[in-house]
Amino acid sequence: MLGLTVPAAVEFSSLLGFVTLGGATLDAIVSGGGAVVAAFGLATPLLGLVVAFAASAAAMRWMVAYVSRHGLEVFGWYRILIAAVTAALLTAGWL
């Protein structure tokens, strides 16, 4: 609706998610970070933060490159399939 290309829209939504999850992480650090540092020290959580950031940056690069070449159709079908499986499991009483 805004006239963005698909890769630009994917990048924008990923960055929006990054800001949202970053805020949630900051809130979790403020409220319970002392307990994590007491349990694991400072180096282990920082290493986890750096590795998670690098993995998310690599995933975002891959996603934008994939969508640039192939489009979003496969993700649409994936969502429909997951919804059908979930509805079937709910109907069968397994969830």
CA distance 47 to 68: 32
Q: What is the pTM of this model?
A: 0.67
Q: What pLDDT score does 79 carry?
A: 93
pLDDT, tens only, 42-89: 899 899 989 998 998 898 889 888 888 988 888 899 999 999 999 999
Total of domains in the chain = 1
Question: Does pLDDT of 10 surpass 90?
Answer: no
CA distance 55 to 58: 5
User: Nearest 5°: CA angle at 71, between 68 and 75?
Assistant: 125
Q: What pLDDT score does 94 carry?
A: 93
Q: Is residue 1 part of a domain?
A: no
Q: Is residue 35 part of a domain?
A: yes
Q: What pLDDT score does 53 carry?
A: 87
- Structural domain boundaries enclosing 80: 6-92
Whether 10 and 63 have beta carbons less than 8 Å apart is answered as yes
CA torsion sign for 42, 48, 53, 58 is positive
Q: Is residue 45 part of a domain?
A: yes
- The conformation of residue 7, written as its DSSP 8-state character, comes to H
Q: Is residue 55 part of a domain?
A: yes
Q: Between 94 and 8, name the one with better pLDDT.
A: 94
Q: Is residue 28 part of a domain?
A: yes
